[in-house]
Amino acid sequence: MTTTSSDAPSRTRQVGLPWSALLALGTAVFITSLTETLPAGVLPEMSASLSTSSGATGQAVTVYAAGTALTAIPLATATASVPRKPLLLGAMAVFLVANTLTAVAPGYIVLLAGRFLAGVAAGLAWAILAGYARRIAPVGSEGRAIAVAMTGIPVALSLGVPAGTLIGEQVGWRAAFGVVSLLTLAVIGWIGLSVPGVGQPVIERADIDRSGLAPGSAKSPLRQALAVPGVVAVMVTVTTFVLGHTIIYAYIAPYLQHAELGSATDAVLLAFGVACLVSIWYVGRHVDRRPRTLMITGAVLFTLATAALAITATHAIVWVSAVLWGLGWGGAPTLLQTAAGQAGMRHSTAAADIAQAVLVTLWNTAMALGGIIGGLLLQSWGATVVAASAAVLGAVSLLVVAGARHHAFPTTQAAP
């Protein structure tokens, strides 16, 4: 069966990026990223209010990530035939309800239920957002469009969480989540007004022929997506790179104490955050022309930075490593989501969306495992082994990217 994607005409007519629509998607990314980590900034206030321990309250982050990791792939598969705009609006509406439930939760169990539901809604939204940005962009500017949408991640980490923490300290943690709900309501209206609707095309004959999969294949959508050349290599890179980053990032404060820089933790993280912003800006400008070079460079910078942290805790080296780490990591979400989308599109738009859902699942799983593994390494062998483990995982990512030159991270861009 041969069809034509309903968004193809609009994409060929566009001249510049649809900035309002992309910024609306970027704000949705910002809100969901901020909400995932916001409890870390208001943990003492939440614990006191709910009469729970810090460890128990910290599970609010875990259940959010679990909601995303457990449901992103099944929901993306089940909604593969649903038009993207109403699906995104529905996901953000559920997120609004769930986050509001968190803000008014009378007890610990209701809090966890709200967080889990928010994670489910965020997982579905994340599986849609990168593909949506790609599909409303002019041909040849898909990577830039994804970069604009993904700017919400470093902004949430470098500005959103500190702002939410300040609100929590001054007004209360419930007010911090209430502000997120108000922002969510606003972005729902923004998406409704400025983001164009796109349909979800069925698999095209040309896409099947390009992918090498047999027409009429009985494979499930998930198996079809994973069978597309390059998709698995991208997912291995996602897993190793995010795992390596999380292992060191989650325990950067103990490392800095080990380096006798504990009092400068905020300043070091600020330097890291600014470097991340520079990285995502640069990657956004060049991702459509040099995605492979940028991904290799990012993996090299991350590996060198974490290896340096493992070798020495000299203050100057720590500061330089923080900046190199940020430069290597900041553009990673854009590069990896672009690579997943490009690989999946060799089969179909639906396969690209499923690939994004797999990426979201592996990303959150790697974050959860990174916290666990990093904690065990820190407790058993110390901060330098944590940094060394991150460097090893960075090196593995680099090897996968270097070897996947034909499909996952091609030397030359595939034709759209």
pLDDT confidence of residue 171: 83
Residue 42 confidence (pLDDT) above 90: no
Instruction: Name the residue among 235, 158, 161, 149 with its Cα closest to residue 195.
Output: 149
pLDDT confidence of residue 407: 76
- The fraction of the chain above a pLDDT of 90, given in percent, is 27
Residue 289 confidence (pLDDT) above 90: no
Residue 71 confidence (pLDDT) above 90: no
Average pLDDT score over the chain: 80
Q: What is the pLDDT of residues 173-229, one digit of tens each?
A: 899 899 999 999 999 999 999 988 875 544 443 343 444 444 444 456 677 777 778
| pLDDT confidence bin for 144, thresholds 50/70/90 | confident
pLDDT confidence of residue 203: 42
Residue 330 confidence (pLDDT) above 80: yes
pLDDT confidence of residue 297: 93
pLDDT confidence of residue 9: 40
Burial class (CB in 10 A: 0-12, 13-18, 19+), 212: exposed
| Cα 114 from Cα 356, distance rounded (Å) | 24
Q: Which residue has the higher pLDDT, 215 or 327?
A: 327
Counting every residue, how long is the chain? 416
| Of 103-112, 220-229, 372-381, 407-416, the least confident | 407-416
Which stretch, 263-277, 310-324, 351-365, has highest mean pLDDT? 310-324
Alpha carbon 232 to chain centroid, angstroms: 17
Q: What is the pLDDT of residues 294-326, one digit of tens each?
A: 999 999 999 999 999 999 988 999 999 999 999
* Span 131-143, average pLDDT: 79
Residue 8 confidence (pLDDT) above 60: no
| Of 179-193, 207-221, 279-293, 329-343, the least confident | 207-221
The model carries a pTM of: 0.73
Residue 36 confidence (pLDDT) above 60: yes
Ramachandran sector of residue 249 (left: φ over 0; alpha: ψ -120 to 50; beta: rest): alpha
Residue 127 confidence (pLDDT) above 70: yes
- With a CB cutoff of 8 Å and minimum separation 6, the contacts of 324 are 275, 301, 302, 304, 305, 308
pLDDT confidence of residue 97: 96
| Cα 380 from Cα 403, distance rounded (Å) | 34
| pLDDT confidence bin for 391, thresholds 50/70/90 | very high
| Of 121-130, 213-222, 369-378, 383-392, the least confident | 213-222
